[in-house]
């Protein structure tokens, strides 16, 4: 059996993870999930995935609310962990008042959460495709 045609589950997981880091289609790994950063003109452009992959016809957003779990599970979790780490670092290593630590942490976590939305959606899409292999175009 050819390993290139049927990679091991661990190899497939790493492949999908790598494609999500690059914000590429989890199926073909070529087409982007989002419009390029240079073409972002509004907040909607930043958050919204493209409709699907023009190369393999894989739908990126198959139904309304599809990415809600990506926000709850990944974006909030990563932002929360970042915030806890930042808060503890600022509180322990810097001579700041508690109010200053809280404000810096709050602002940094908000910016961080907005910046990682695309990667959280990409990771969720890759994970969904890994565990529940969807047919192309559905």
Nearest to 126 by CA among 1, 7, 19, 10: 19
- Residue 32, phi then psi, degrees to nearest 5: -75, 155
Residues 43-91 pLDDT 10s: 888 888 998 888 988 888 888 888 888 888 888 999 999 999 999 999 9
| pLDDT higher at 70 or 120 | 120
Asked whether the predicted pLDDT for residue 6 surpasses 80, the reply is no
Sorted by where each begins, the domain ranges of the chain are 9-131
pTM score of the predicted model: 0.80
Give the residues across from 52 on adjacent strands. 59
Q: Angle between the 76-93 and 98-115 helix axes, to the nearest 10 degrees?
A: 150
Please give the pLDDT value at position 74: 87
One DSSP character per residue, 78-106 reads HHHHHHHHHHHHHHHHS---HHHHHHHHH
Query: Residue 137: its pLDDT value, please?
Result: 47
pLDDT digits (tens, 9 = 90+) for 14-42: 999 999 999 999 989 999 999 988 898 99
Please give the angle made by the CA atoms of 47, 50 and 56, to the nearest 5 degrees: 145
């Amino acid at each position: 059996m050819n390993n290139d045609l049927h990679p091991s589950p661990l190899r497939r997981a790493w492949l999908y993870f790598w494609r999500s880091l690059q914000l590429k289609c989890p199926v073909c790994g070529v087409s982007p999930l989002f419009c390029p950063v240079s073409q972002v003109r509004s907040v909607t452009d930043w958050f919204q995935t493209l409709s699907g992959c023009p190369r393999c016809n894989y739908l990126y957003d198959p139904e309304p609310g599809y990415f809600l779990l990506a926000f709850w599970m990944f974006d909030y979790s990563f932002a929360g962990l970042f915030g806890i780490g930042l808060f503890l670092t600022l509180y322990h290593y810097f001579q700041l008042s508690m109010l200053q630590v809280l404000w810096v942490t709050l602002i940094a976590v908000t910016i961080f959460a907005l910046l990682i939305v695309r990667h959280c959606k990409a990771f969720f899409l890759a994970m969904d495709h890994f565990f529940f292999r969807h047919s192309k175009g559905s």
